[in-house]
């Protein structure tokens, strides 16, 4: 497929350079929909984070993740369809739409996707997923995309088929709960930034992105150095789940999210990060779409940082605490504030 062809200079797929924009504010946005942010997230990390949150709070968040993701993907797909000429969609049929969506999903690192069975008369559809980046989030993607294409409301259910393979069955029915309307992503206000990336002279993507390797057939993106799997994920749908949990279960939720991420990160190896300069951290955070690191002060057992346009601030706070713990071998305490204008102020002490 044309979209999976790589740039001849940096080897990043053309579909990525066409779909996503890396901005000087430390954000990644959909080129077609600049209000829709994306982050390049570590797949194992995000799944461990969800698992740790469930263990800490004692309830499953799988359905909430699917609901929230369905909503985000439905909106995204509606905009995508508006961008394509309606006549083209009508003439080429829904098969093409599904094919294109599948291609985009593979470029974003979501795994491989096969349509097994379509019965529009009875409003049923069945997919096979191979190596999905997240089962609940991918179920949300499939549901949201189908709802946008067919202009209906549906449910999806995943069933394991084999190792890393799932069958997902989609059916139309009334919305499953009143939760959906509350899972609204907060409006993003973005502060201007001045990060200048070294960019590919041909496709314009920051050159650091070419450190990732794409397998366009399997839908897998890996860090070329560590082999860790990554995917482009919309942070708003995940933040909406954190907000929903906090409104239902109370003020202990933000602490639990930070703790869940600290647990995950404290076990990782941060040795290569030693001696990293501010500019390098700033670059890294921005390339991943997590925001603009405008200040960082550090001593051997403590650091304070300010990040503008922070995506998933609780995850950043947990990452910082876990990283300092991995450095010093001592449990870190974290204080964080998200200012009304969206800055994350962070102080971590070992
Ligand atoms: Zn390029």
- Ligand 1 mean position to 209 CA, how many Å? 9
> Which strand (E) or helix (H) includes residue 271?
none
Q: What does the pLDDT read at residue 123?
A: 79
Question: Which residue blocks in the chain are alpha helix, DSSP H?
Answer: 14-19, 43-57, 62-83, 86-92, 94-107, 135-150, 179-182, 235-249, 252-266, 278-287, 313-328
Ligand 1 midpoint to CA 230 (Å): 19
Contact 169, 155 (CB under 8 A): no
251-349 under CATH 3.30.300.130, yes or no = no
Q: Which of 85, 83, 99, 84 is nearest to 32 (CA)?
A: 83
- CA–centroid distance, 204 to ligand 1, in Å, is 6
Q: What is the pLDDT of residue 179?
A: 44
How many angstroms separate the CA atoms of 155 and 175, rounded? Answer: 8
Q: How far is the CA of 4 from the centre of ligand 1 (A)?
A: 13
Bridge partner residues of 141 (DSSP): none
Classify domain 2-182 by CATH number.
3.30.1380
- How many angstroms separate the alpha carbon of residue 210 from the centre of ligand 1? 8
Convert the pLDDT of each residue in 23-43 to its tens digit.
Answer: 999 999 999 888 889 999 999
DSSP of 138-178, one letter per residue? HHHHHHHHHHHHHT--EEEEEEEEETTEEEEEEEE-S-S-T
- Report CA(13)–ligand 1 centroid distance (Å): 8
Distance 321 CA to ligand 1 centre (A): 35
Task: Tell me the pLDDT of the chain averaged across its residues.
Answer: 86
Measure the CA–CA gap between 214 and 3, rounded to whole angstroms.
12
Ligand 1 center–CA 289 separation, angstroms: 18
Rounded distance from Cα 196 to ligand 1 centre (Å): 16
Binning pLDDT at 50, 70 and 90, where does residue 270 land?
A: low
CA of residue 188 to ligand 1 center, whole Å: 29
Given this model, what pLDDT does residue 264 score? Answer: 85
Q: Please determine, for residue 180, whether its predicted confidence score (pLDDT) is greater than 60.
A: no
Q: Are strands 292-299 and 302-308 parallel, antiparallel or unpaired?
A: antiparallel
Ligand 1 centre to CA of 22 (Å) is 13
- What's the 199 CA to ligand 1 centre distance in angstroms? 8
Give this prediction's pTM.
Answer: 0.89
- Same topology, domains 2-182 and 251-349? Answer is yes
What are the residue boundaries of the structural domains of the chain, listed by start? 2-182, 251-349
Nearest CA to 321 among 257, 276, 278? 257
- The answer, yes or no, to whether residue 238 has pLDDT greater than 70, is yes
**Cα of 11 to ligand 1 centre, how many Å?**
6
Spell out a b/e string for 182-219, using b for 16 or more CB atoms within 10 Å of the CB, else e.
ebebeebebeebebebeebeebebbebbbebebebeeb
Q: Compute, in angstroms, the gap from residue 309 CA to the centroid of ligand 1.
A: 26
C-alpha neighbours within 13 Å on the C-beta side of residue 254: 13
């Amino acid at each position: 497929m044309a979209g999976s062809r790589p740039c001849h200079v940096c080897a990043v797929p053309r579909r990525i350079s066409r779909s996503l924009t890396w901005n000087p504010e430390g954000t990644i946005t959909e080129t077609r929909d600049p209000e829709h942010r994306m982050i390049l997230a570590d797949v194992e990390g995000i799944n461990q984070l969800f698992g740790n949150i469930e263990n800490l709070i004692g309830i499953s968040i799988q359905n909430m993740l699917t609901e929230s993701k369905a909503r985000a993907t439905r909106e995204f797909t509606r905009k995508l369809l508006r961008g394509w000429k309606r006549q083209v969609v009508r003439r080429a049929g829904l098969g093409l739409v599904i094919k294109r969506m599948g291609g985009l999903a593979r470029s974003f690192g979501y795994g491989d996707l096969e349509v097994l069975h379509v019965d529009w008369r009875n409003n049923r559809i069945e997919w096979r997923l191979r190596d999905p980046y997240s089962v609940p989030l991918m179920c949300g993607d499939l549901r949201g995309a189908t709802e946008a294409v067919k202009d209906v409301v549906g449910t999806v259910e995943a069933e394991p088929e084999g190792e890393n393979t799932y069958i997902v069955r989609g059916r139309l029915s009334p919305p499953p709960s009143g939760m959906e309307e509350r899972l609204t992503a907060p409006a993003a206000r973005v502060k201007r930034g001045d990060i200048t990336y070294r960019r590919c002279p041909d496709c314009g993507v920051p050159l650091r992105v070419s450190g990732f390797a794409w397998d366009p057939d399997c839908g897998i993106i890996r860090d070329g150095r560590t082999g860790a799997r990554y995917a482009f994920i919309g942070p708003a749908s995940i933040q909406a789940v954190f907000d929903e949990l906090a409104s239902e279960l109370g003020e202990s939720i933000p602490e639990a999210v930070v703790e869940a991420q600290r647990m995950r990160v404290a076990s990782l190896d941060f040795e290569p990060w030693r001696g990293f300069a501010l500019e390098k951290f700033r670059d890294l955070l921005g390339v991943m779409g997590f925001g603009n690191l405008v200040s960082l002060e550090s001593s051997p057992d403590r650091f304070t940082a300010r990040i503008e346009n922070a995506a998933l601030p609780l995850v950043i706070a947990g990452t910082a605490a876990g990283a300092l713990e991995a450095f010093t071998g001592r449990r870190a305490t974290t204080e964080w504030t998200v200012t009304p204008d969206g800055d994350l102020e962070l102080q971590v002490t070992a």
